[in-house]
C-alpha cells in the first residue's frame, strides 16, 4: 500500500468516545492543531451503554472535569431529560448528581461542539500504527497508508480494539452497537512497549416503550430546584421524562439458573475479566443466591425514540432466553425487544506502563486515556481524556505537567490507583477509594481545580469570572455567618426550638454547629435565598473539625510526596528491600516515595529503605 502525507499537525487523538472528545477539545482549545481520528463520526460521544451521566463518585468526576474547563458537564446539562441528587440522606461527601440524558442529542451536541472548535479537525479513518523515531512519537499511519505527522498522540480507543460481541453461542467481530471494530492498532501498541490484556463489559436489552406497562412500576422522578453539572449552565429546564423502578423475581432467576450452560460467562466462551461493580444478571443471581429479587430501572433513551434501557439486566444469554427472562419481570410481561443484550470483549493495556501524566513510560509524546487504560464508565474515560489531552498540550508548549494529587481530586485518586496499584478488572471510581473524600465534595470542585485549569490555558474568561464570583460569595457568606446575632432574635429562635435563651454571644456559625440547617437560618433571619455556595459554607462549618484532621494528614503525607525517586533507580540491586518489593517497585518505577508507599506489596520497612537510600545518596541525586 502506498504511503502518503495526510497532514502535519501538533497532535492526533485516536478515538472519538468520551475520552477522545475531552482530549481533542483540551488540545485544540489550548491552541494546538489537532486531528481527531475516528472509525465513524456517527459514533462521536456515543453512549453505548446507559444513557446517563454521573452517579455516585462519577458525578464528582463530571464536576471536576467542568471545573478544569472540560465539556462533559456542559453537554450533559444541554441534553438532560431528568437529574437527581443521589445519597441525599447521607453525608455531603457522598452526595452525587446523576442525569438521564437524551442519547442521540448527547452525540449530536458534542459533535456540533467539536466541529465548531477552532484548531480541531475530525477525520474518519482507522489507525494502523503509531510512528516513532528515537523513542518519540512522530505520527500516526492509517490503514489506507495516510500519514498524520505530529508530536503527540492520545490513544482513546475505548472498547473497539479487536472487539468481539458475544450473545449465547454467537461471537461476532464487532464494536459496540454494531459499529466496526479496530483490528490493527494492538500490535503497534505492543511494539511501543505496552502490555496488552483482555477485558469484558456488557449491556442490557432495549425495549419498545409502547410494550412496557409503566403503571405496574414505581415512578422515579427527577429532582426540581437542583443545580446543574456545569458552572456555565445558569439553570436546568424542568424534567422531561420519568424513570421507573421494577424488580426481578424467582421466575427470572429460575430461567437464568436453568440456562447457565448456555451462558458464555459460565460455559467458558468468555474468558476475559468483567466489571466487579456492574455485573451481569447471571453473575448477580449466582453470586447472591440468597436474594429474592434485584432492582431494575427502566430509563428512556431520548425524546425522539421509544427505546427503553433496562438498567440492571445486562446479560450475554441467547436471544430466546433473554425473551423468556425479561418477560417474567413485572411491567415487562409483553415487552418487545428493539435491541438484544450482549457482552463485548476488547483489548486494553496494563497501566503499569503509564506515568501519572498518562504518558507512556516507553515512548515520549504517547498518551492513553479511557477504557484502553482498563477503566469502565463514560465519566472515568472523560476525566482521563481531559488530563491526557492537557498534559500533551502542556508538553508541546514546554510547560510543567498537570498531576493532581489524591488530596485534590477524584481524578487524582483514579489516575494514582491506575498507575500505582494497577487493575485486574475494569476499574470504576467510588467514594470509598478516596481517603480525603470529605474534602473532595462535588460542590467545591471549582474551588479545588479551576486555578489549575486556568494556568493550563483551558479555563477561559467566562468560566473564570463565574468562579471568581462564587469564591467571593463564599468568603462573604463565611464573614456574615461569623457575625453576632441580636440577642432578642436569637433568643426567640432558640426558645421556639425548645432550647434555653443564650447566656452569651451567638453567631450564625454557632447555630450551624448546633445542628440547624442553613436553609432555616437564612429564612428565619432573612439573610437571603439558599444557593449552592451557602451550602458549601454550611458544610465547611459543620465538618470543620474533620476537615482540619484531614488537612493535617495531607500535610504529613506531602513530605513523602515531595521526596522524588530517580526514574532509573535499580531496585533489584537495592539492599534491604524484600524480593516482592523489588519486583513491584521495578515494575511501577514510582516517581516519589509517596507513590512507592501505595504500591501493593511495598510495606513500611521497604519505604524506610528507600528513605535511607535517598538520605545517603543526596549528593549523587
| Percent of the chain predicted with pLDDT > 90 | 85
Q: Which segment of 69-73, 243-247, 279-283, 306-310 scores lowest on mean pLDDT?
A: 279-283
- We find that the CATH architecture of domain 562-616 is Orthogonal Bundle (1.10)
Among 3.30.70.380, 3.40.50.1980, 1.10.10.1800, 3.40.640.10, name the CATH number for the domain at 468-548. Answer: 1.10.10.1800
pLDDT average, residue stretch 81-95: 93
- pLDDT for residue 558: 86
Average pLDDT rounded to a whole number, residues 592-603: 91
**Structure confidence by residue, pLDDT tens digits, 36-71:** 999 999 999 999 999 999 999 999 999 999 999 999
Residue 159, pLDDT above cutoff 70: yes
pLDDT at 619: 63
Strand 11-14 relative to strand 152-155: parallel, antiparallel, unpaired?
Answer: parallel
State how far the alpha carbon of 154 is from the alpha carbons of 27, 115, 191, 269, 559, in Å: 10, 19, 16, 32, 32
pLDDT at 311 over 60: yes
Q: Which CATH number fits domain 206-344: 2.102.10.10, 3.40.50.720, 1.10.3720.10, 2.40.30.260?
A: 2.40.30.260
The packing angle between helices 487-496 and 518-525, to 10°, is: 130
State the cell numbers at 24.
Answer: 481533542
Q: Where are the domains of the chain?
A: 206-344, 468-548, 562-616
Taking a C-beta distance cutoff of 8 angstroms, is the pair 156, 388 a contact? yes
C-alpha cell at 343: 457482552
Position 271 scores a pLDDT of: 85
Backbone phi, psi, residue 486, to 5°: -50, 135
Helix (H) or strand (E) segment spanning residue 347: strand 342-349
Residue 230 burial by Cβ neighbours in a 10 Å radius (0-12, 13-18, 19+): buried
Query: What one-character-per-residue DSSP string does 8-50 give?
Result: E-SEEEE--SHHHHHHHHHHHHTT--EEEEES-GGGTT--SS-
What is the pLDDT, as a whole number, of residue 621? 57
Where b means 16+ CB within 10 Å and e means fewer, 391-429 reads bbbbbbeeeebbbbbbbbbbbbbbbbbbbbbbbeebbbb
Confidence of residue 493 (pLDDT cuts 50, 70, 90): very high
Average pLDDT for 409-424: 95
Distance CA 321, CA 369 (A): 36
The answer on pLDDT for 618 being more than 80 is: no
For residue 93, give the nearest of 437, 429, 436, 409 by alpha carbon.
437
Residue 620: band (very low, low, confident or very high) from pLDDT cuts 50, 70, 90: low
At 345-365, the pLDDT tens digits run 999 999 999 999 999 999 999
pTM: 0.95
How far is 258 from 265, CA to CA, in rounded Å? 14
Three-state secondary-structure class, residue 507: strand
Name which residue leads in pLDDT, 576 or 212: 212
pLDDT, mean of residues 92-107: 96
Which alpha helices (H) appear in 103-234, and where do they start and end?
A: 103-115, 185-191
Mean pLDDT value across residues 109-127:
98
Q: Is residue 603 over pLDDT 70? A: yes
In this model, does residue 149 exceed pLDDT 60?
A: yes
pLDDT at 225: 83
CA angle 589, 591, 595 (to 5 degrees): 90
pLDDT grade, residue 559 (50/70/90)?
Answer: confident
Confidence at residue 376, expressed as pLDDT on a 0 to 100 scale? 94
Q: How far is CA 115 from the centre of its chain?
A: 24
Q: What is the mean pLDDT of residues 292-319?
A: 97
Cell of 211: 410494550
Cα 274 → chain centroid: 17
The CA distance from 361 to 116, in Å, is 34
The answer to whether the beta carbons of residues 296 and 77 sit under 8 Å apart is: no
Question: Chain-wide mean pLDDT for the chain?
Answer: 95
Give me the mean pLDDT over the 227-256 stretch: 95
pLDDT recorded at residue 224: 86
CB-CB neighbours of 239 under 10 Å:
18
Query: What's the confidence (pLDDT) of residue 277?
Result: 77
Burial (CB count <10 Å: 0-12, 13-18, 19+), residue 295: exposed
Under the banding of pLDDT at 50, 70 and 90, the label for residue 321 is very high
Cross-strand pairs, 337: 207
Amino acid at each position: 500500500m502506498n504511503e502518503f502525507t495526510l497532514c502535519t499537525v501538533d497532535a492526533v487523538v485516536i478515538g472519538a468516545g468520551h475520552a477522545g472528545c475531552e482530549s481533542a477539545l483540551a488540545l485544540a482549545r489550548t491552541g494546538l492543531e489537532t486531528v481527531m481520528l475516528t472509525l465513524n463520526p456517527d459514533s462521536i460521544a456515543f453512549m453505548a451503554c446507559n444513557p446517563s451521566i454521573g452517579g455516585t463518585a462519577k458525578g464528582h468526576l463530571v464536576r471536576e472535569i467542568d471545573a478544569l474547563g472540560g465539556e462533559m458537564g456542559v453537554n450533559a446539562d444541554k441534553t438532560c431529560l431528568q437529574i437527581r441528587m443521589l445519597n441525599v440522606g447521607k453525608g455531603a461527601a457522598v452526595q452525587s448528581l446523576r442525569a438521564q440524558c437524551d442519547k442521540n442529542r448527547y452525540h449530536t451536541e458534542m459533535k456540533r461542539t467539536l466541529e465548531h472548535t477552532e484548531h480541531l479537525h475530525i477525520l474518519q479513518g482507522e489507525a494502523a500504527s503509531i510512528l516513532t523515531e528515537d523513542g518519540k512519537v512522530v505520527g500516526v499511519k492509517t490503514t489506507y497508508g495516510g500519514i498524520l505527522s505530529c508530536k503527540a498522540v492520545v490513544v482513546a480507543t475505548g472498547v473497539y480494539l479487536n472487539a468481539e460481541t458475544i450473545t449465547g453461542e454467537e461471537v461476532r467481530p464487532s464494536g459496540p452497537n454494531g459499529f466496526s471494530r479496530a483490528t490493527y492498532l494492538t500490535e503497534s501498541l505492543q511494539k511501543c512497549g505496552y502490555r496488552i490484556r483482555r477485558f469484558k463489559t456488557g449491556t442490557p436489552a432495549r425495549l419498545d416503550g409502547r410494550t412496557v406497562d409503566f403503571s405496574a412500576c414505581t415512578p422515579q422522578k427527577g429532582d426540581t430546584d437542583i443545580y446543574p453539572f456545569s458552572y456555565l449552565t445558569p439553570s436546568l429546564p424542568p424534567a422531561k421524562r420519568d424513570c421507573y423502578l421494577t424488580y426481578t423475581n424467582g421466575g427470572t432467576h429460575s430461567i437464568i439458573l436453568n440456562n447457565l450452560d448456555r451462558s458464555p460467562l459460565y460455559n467458558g466462551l468468555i474468558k476475559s475479566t468483567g466489571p466487579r461493580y456492574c455485573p451481569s444478571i447471571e453473575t448477580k443471581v449466582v453470586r447472591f443466591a440468597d436474594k429474592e429479587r434485584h432492582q431494575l430501572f427502566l430509563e428512556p433513551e431520548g425524546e425522539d425514540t421509544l427505546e427503553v434501557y433496562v438498567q440492571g439486566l445486562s446479560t450475554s444469554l441467547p436471544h430466546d432466553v433473554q425473551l423468556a427472562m425479561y418477560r417474567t419481570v413485572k411491567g415487562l410481561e409483553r415487552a418487545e425487544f428493539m435491541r438484544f443484550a450482549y457482552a463485548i470483549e476488547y483489548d486494553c493495556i496494563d497501566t503499569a506502563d503509564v506515568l501519572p501524566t498518562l504518558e507512556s513510560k516507553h515512548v515520549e509524546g504517547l498518551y492513553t486515556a479511557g477504557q484502553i487504560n482498563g477503566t469502565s464508565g463514560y465519566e472515568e474515560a472523560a476525566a482521563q481524556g481531559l488530563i491526557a489531552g492537557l498534559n500533551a498540550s502542556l508538553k508541546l508548549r514546554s510547560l510543567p505537567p498537570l498531576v493532581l494529587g489524591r488530596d485534590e481530586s477524584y481524578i487524582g485518586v483514579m489516575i494514582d490507583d491506575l498507575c500505582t496499584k494497577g487493575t485486574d478488572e475494569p476499574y470504576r471510581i467510588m467514594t470509598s477509594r478516596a481517603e480525603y473524600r470529605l474534602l473532595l465534595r462535588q460542590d467545591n470542585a471549582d474551588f479545588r481545580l479551576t486555578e489549575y485549569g486556568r494556568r493550563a490555558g483551558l479555563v477561559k474568561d467566562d468560566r473564570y469570572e463565574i468562579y471568581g464570583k462564587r469564591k467571593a460569595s463564599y468568603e462573604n457568606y463565611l464573614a456574615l455567618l461569623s457575625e453576632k446575632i441580636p440577642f432578642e432574635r436569637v433568643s426567640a429562635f432558640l426558645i421556639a426550638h425548645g432550647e434555653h435563651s443564650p447566656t452569651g454571644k451567638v453567631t450564625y456559625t454557632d447555630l450551624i454547629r448546633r445542628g440547624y440547617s442553613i436553609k432555616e437560618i437564612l429564612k428565619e433571619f432573612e439573610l437571603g435565598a439558599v444557593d449552592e455556595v451557602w451550602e458549601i459554607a454550611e458544610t465547611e462549618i459543620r465538618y470543620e473539625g474533620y476537615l482540619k484532621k484531614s488537612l493535617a494528614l495531607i500535610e504529613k503525607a506531602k513530605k513523602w510526596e515531595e521526596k522524588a525517586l530517580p526514574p532509573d533507580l535499580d531496585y533489584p540491586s537495592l539492599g534491604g528491600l524484600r524480593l516482592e518489593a523489588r519486583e513491584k517497585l521495578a515494575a511501577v518505577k514510582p516517581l516519589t516515595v509517596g507513590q512507592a508507599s501505595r504500591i501493593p506489596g511495598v510495606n513500611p520497612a521497604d519505604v524506610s529503605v528507600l528513605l535511607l537510600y535517598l538520605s545517603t545518596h543526596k549528593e549523587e541525586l
